[in-house]
Structure 1
Amino acid sequence: MLLVLAVDLDDDLGRKTGISTPVLGRENVEDAATQLATADPEDSDVNVLFQAIHTRDQLERGGEEVAVAAVTGLDGSDVKANRAVGEEVDTVLAALSTGENVRAIVITDGAQDESVLPVIRSRVPIDGLRRVVVRQAQDLESIYYTIKQVLGDKETRGTLLVPSASSCSSTRWC
């Protein structure tokens, strides 16, 4: 059996909707995604949840026995968040209670959520990983975070040259 596992390490799902996790089953995950989209349409975890549903549906059409679940960690501490995800994965696996070996496909929205992969791998073999990035925002988001990091670093912030009107001797270049 395959388990499509949507991971929300900082628990946006629970904090923004009040939904208890883990969430197990297609209809329940779809309902959770809809509630999160209603609470915060810009949250990237909405896309993670819908991608998990989409992946589950595709695999099931291919003849696989597939389950889908959403697990969350905690906002703040990475160690506590990882432990919380591990406990939720244990709960999901116990709920599946099949005699078959369960393998997972993990769906995340970035590197921070992927830091929990060793915890998940310690409980269930991982067959695949899918990082969801909204196509329209990928380049812009990357540029924004790069600029934010550069401006946040004192060493690189001082090396930026920004022309100002007072330093221009010719209107041709300014």
Structure 2
Amino acid sequence: MIRSLCWFSVLHGSLALETETRPVTKVVNLLEDTHDKMQCWCKTNGDEKTKSIEEAQTKIKALEARMDELTATSSRLATEIAVAEEEVSNNEKALQSAQALREKQFTEFKSDFKDLTESATSVDKALDAIGTNKSSFLQTSRGRMASAMTQLKMVLLRH
């Protein structure tokens, strides 16, 4: 029995030696180690990636909400810009009309001013014609009187 026990232990030892030294066993052991490392790496990185994905999805939702908000603001501002451009256009037209009216009024003023200046000059001449002769109005010569009356008529006709 001792002999069989010895024999068994020798056989068992040689089998154990053969299992450890076989090339297939080495490959299997390397694959198991690699598998264990990959599971650890997947677990660690998987958790990180899951967390990153959740954060990214949260950020996407926030950015979509911000985008909707900015789109609404953009359309509101586009409407305001259109209204402002229309107001500017209307104001420019009103300015052109006002400038044309002002130029017309200025031309009329210059004409009226010229007429009034000429009238005032005519009145002054008429008064000078009447007043140079220290005689009474009835004693003024007919030529002077006619000239003064003509000038006064012209002044009155203009106004």
TM-score by length of 1: 0.17
Higher helix share: 2
Q: Which has the larger radius of gyration?
A: 2
Which has the bigger relative contact order, CA under 8 A and spacing at least 6? Answer: 1
Give the TM-score taking structure 2 as reference length. Answer: 0.18
